[in-house]
């Protein structure tokens, strides 16, 4: 099994380590590759879009020709995990900030996102949220996190926090507003790997 982590910018190493731990826990001999150029996504069995800065990430994945490859892989059923900025990129619709700055979105998931919904970097926080599909409470780290403000019919909401939806799944796409790669708990990475 080969998992590609889009490694242009952001929380790449943390995801690689969390995936390595998950492989070890499952006893799977998997390979993780860091993707910085086009030509690699088509060989992957799953793709991770890490958090970072969605404007920078969007610009670079388009510039490198990676965006089109992600789109066609995901449309053909390859599982994708988008965390934080990765969730923003997966979305079909964005808030005023996204529209105003003409930020590119992959437009794969039928969700509308609001960037920086919980405030600025200094408003980052960790809290316990209930995620029934993985068996209950999970320590969620929110760093200048986006939130989901609308979900289409084919989307299941996996977790809510306050007025917002913060975890959702549509078929082979899993979107999390927080950072599961920054905690020791690998249940969400296991959940993702079980989608492959």
For ligand GLN, the closer CB: 51 or 79: 51
Q: Which residue is nearest to ligand GLN (CB)?
A: 51
The catalytic residue among 14, 44, 69, 84 is: 84
DSSP string across 78-92: --EEEETHHHHHHEE
Q: How far is the CB of 190 from ligand GLN (least distance, A)?
A: 22
Q: Where are the beta strands (DSSP E) in the chain?
A: 2-6, 31-35, 46-49, 80-83, 91-94, 109-114, 125-131, 136-142, 147-151, 156-161, 164-170, 173-176
Q: Is 15 a catalytic residue?
A: no
Q: Is 122 a catalytic residue?
A: no
Angstrom distance (rounded) from CA 144 to CA 30: 31
Token pair belonging to 118: 């919980």
Token pair belonging to 162: 């306050």
Please report, as ranges, the residues that interact with ligand GLN according to CB under 6 A.
Answer: 51-54, 84-85, 88, 115-116, 143-144, 146
Q: Is 189 a catalytic residue?
A: no
Q: How far is the CB of 42 from ligand GLN (least distance, A)?
A: 26
For ligand GLN, the closer CB: 37 or 56: 56
| Residues with catalytic roles | 84, 179, 181
């Amino acid at each position: 099994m080969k998992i590609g982590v889009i490694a242009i910018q952001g929380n790449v190493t943390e995801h690689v380590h969390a995936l390595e731990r998950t492989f070890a826990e499952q006893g799977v001999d998997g390979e993780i590759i860091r993707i910085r150029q086009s030509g690699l996504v088509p060989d992957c069995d799953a793709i991770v879009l890490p958090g970072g800065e969605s404007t920078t990430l969007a610009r670079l994945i388009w510039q490198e020709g990676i965006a089109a490859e992600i789109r066609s892989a995901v449309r053909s059923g390859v599982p994708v995990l988008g965390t934080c900025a990765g969730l923003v990129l997966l979305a079909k619709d964005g808030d005023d900030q996204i529209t105003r700055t003409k930020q590119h979105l992959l437009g794969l998931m039928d969700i509308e996102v609001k960037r920086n919904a919980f405030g600025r970097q200094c408003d980052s926080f960790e809290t316990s949220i209930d995620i029934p599909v993985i068996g209950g409470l999970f320590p969620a780290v929110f760093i200048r996190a986006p939130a989901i403000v609308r979900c289409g019919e084919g989307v299941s909401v996996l977790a809510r926090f306050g007025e917002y939806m913060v975890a959702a799944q549509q078929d082979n796409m899993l979107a999390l507003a927080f950072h599961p790669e920054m905690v020791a708990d690998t249940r969400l990475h296991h959940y993702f790997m079980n989608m492959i």
